[in-house]
Amino acid sequence: MSAVPSSPAAPVDDGRPKPVPGAARDRRLKLAALRLALLVALLAIWQVASLGAPPFVLPSPMRVWEAWTALVASPTFWKDLGVTFERIVTGFALAAVFGVAIGLILGASKTLGEFFEPVLTLITTVSSAIWAIFALIWFGLSNWTTIFVVFMTAMPLILTTVWQGTRTVNADFVELARTFRMSQAQVLAKIYLPTILPLFFSSARLAFGFGARVSLVAETLGASSGVGVRLKQAADLLQTDQVFAWTLTLVALMLALEALVLKPLEARLFRWKKQAEAS
Amino acid sequence: MSVVKVQSVSKWFPRRDGESLHVLQNIDLDVPEKAIVAIVGASGCGKSTLLNIIAGLVKPDRGCVFLNGVKASDFEDWRSLTYMFQEDRLLPWRTAAQNVAFGLEAAGVARPERRERVAETLALVGLSGFADAYPHELSGGMRSRVALARSLVTRPSILLMDEPFSKLDPSIRTQMHDEVLRIKELMGMTIVFVTHDVEEAVVLADKVVVLNPRPGRVRETQEIRLPYPRDPLSPDVAEQARLLRRSL
Ligand SMILES: Nc1ncnc2c1ncn2[C@@H]1O[C@H](COP(=O)(O)OP(=O)(O)OP(=O)(O)O)[C@@H](O)[C@H]1O
Ligand SMILES: [Mg+2]
């Protein structure tokens, strides 16, 4: 008798699809619990700290909540938010278009790249605050002041990444396109662009964050409406609870943007990537 | 008339030490219409360089290439020639179907016709069920088939193939040979096939050209008159391969 004893617990491959293990869901639940605990802890620390400080230094969570509900109900809230958002998006969109186009062109032509490299260094070393002052001189109290500052902050970031990304383009793919006699524009659109898209995406995310932050500074200097202006007014009047309320609004908006727009978009765009097997 | 004619082509590549590397010396090659010509030679003897010169990707330093009797510099119908590279060069961000469509996009074929021809060509290489798979989801053999489909979808009259199956295991390679012969019968193109495997050359080609290395030059040209399909294990094939191997 040489039959191999098979233990009844040993899983047999019967050719049917393997059931998906619940491990992934368990991990997500655990993460959600951790996040919740962190939130509660932060609120508790905030509450305790606010007991020992006057409200204009550190308002209590409850007071901020009340200020926030009043803020949302106020007639100018959505207008201010909308105006700021519009400036950020305009500046960012212009930065993305110019950053990608110029980055691709500089990457595709070595001579142009070497010629313009110092200009890029110059732009990146100038601080956003200085751009804000220039913008104020050039555009005065208008939307373009903020848009310009967002643009000058975001554009070099995107441009640099795209430009560097063009160096990672696989020469074999370009040669393949050449055997099909593709035009230079087609090569840029069909080989270069998909190659740099993942890099572009991560730099655009960074650039949008920077742009959003400097936009507030720009608005305090060179605008008559928008979140930055309201923040400055609240600070001048020592309405610290208002400042907190605006801050929380902005943080919540950025988180929502990340979860509702960027994450799903990223998942869709980069479906083709090989997923590293989770261990 | 020969579809591809290479006339005393020589090629040097510059080396880093300032010298130049003599890669090809006085190469003559004649590829008759609807023939399969195999080029065999050791690694580094300039086979890929020769194909690159035929494809117009590399300029020869001496000599010239004629395509359909027209000098390469005056040739216009480059889209009737396709090139299957030594690596499959599938674009990782495109599905199998989108990779196959690549060549048609260059030629400006409209979307509905593109879809139809891609489906047709995927069926031709036996990959209908995998149109939406990304390259990393395909096996080596399937990737070769996608690359082959991409070279066929534009219905070329000249197909250049550079060791396209060298990384596949022998049984799948034999399958691919059958596919190539079947498709060639169907579409009637002219094929230049580069390999370092003498048996592969004998199984596929009407004519085998043996290159010797450093610098690459034609050592011997051998017509293969065995009837198709040729069994790679048959004594006739083995005998032809033995004769050719002597001059390698
Ligand atoms: N662009 C290039 N610049 C300089 N040297 C090159 C270039 N391309 C090829 N060579 C050299 O030319 C020689 C022939 O190369 P080639 O790729 O044509 O050989 P091959 O016969 O295709 O080899 P294999 O069978 O390994 O693919 C090699 O020594 C290689 O190093
Ligand atoms: Mg080679």
> How far is the C-alpha of A20 from the C-alpha of A12, rounded, in Å?
16
User: What DSSP state is assigned to residue A192?
Assistant: I
pLDDT at B22 over 50: yes
Picking from A174, A166, A134, the residue whose alpha carbon sits closest to that of residue A152 is: A134
**Mean pLDDT of all residues in B124-131:** 84
Asked if B132 has any chain A CB less than 8 Å from its own CB, the reply is no
Closest ligand 1 atom to B41 CA: 21
Whole-structure pTM value: 0.77
pLDDT at A37 over 90: yes
Asked if B106 and A271 come within 8 Å (Cβ–Cβ), the reply is no
Torsion region of B26: left, alpha or beta (phi above 0 gives left; psi -120 to 50 gives alpha): left
**Mean pLDDT of all residues in A43-65:** 86
Asked if B134 and A179 come within 8 Å (Cβ–Cβ), the reply is no
Query: Average pLDDT over chain A, rounded to whole?
Result: 83
- Chain A residue with minimum CA distance to B90: A173
Sorted by sequence, the CB contacts under 8 Å of residue B80 that are 6+ apart come out as B154, B156, B157, B158
Interface with chain A: mutation pick from B54, B86, B93, B114, highest number of A CBs within 10 Å: B93
Using one digit for the tens of pLDDT, what is the confidence trace for B139-194? 888 898 899 899 989 889 999 999 988 887 888 888 888 888 888 888 889 999 99
The two most distant CA atoms of chain B are separated, in Å, by 53
Residues 45-104 of B with CB under 8 A from A: 55, 57, 78-79, 81-83, 85, 87, 89, 91-95, 102-103
**pLDDT score recorded for residue A5:** 47
**pLDDT score recorded for residue A17:** 58
Please state, in angstroms and as integers, the Cα–Cα distance from residue B194 to each residue in A216, B128, B161, B173, following that order. 64, 28, 6, 14
Asked if A212 has any chain B CB less than 8 Å from its own CB, the reply is no
**pLDDT score recorded for residue A72:** 85
Picking from A47, A73, A83, A42, the residue whose alpha carbon sits closest to that of residue A62 is: A47
B21 DSSP β-pair partners? B13
Distance from CA of B31 to the nearest CA of A (A): 20
User: What DSSP state is assigned to residue B92?
Assistant: T
Integer-rounded Cα radius of gyration of chain A: 26
Asked if B16 has any chain A CB less than 8 Å from its own CB, the reply is no
- Chain A residue with minimum CA distance to B101: A180
> How far is the C-alpha of B108 from the C-alpha of A180, rounded, in Å?
11
**Mean pLDDT of all residues in A234-247:** 86
**pLDDT score recorded for residue A7:** 47
> How far is the C-alpha of A126 from the C-alpha of A222, rounded, in Å?
18
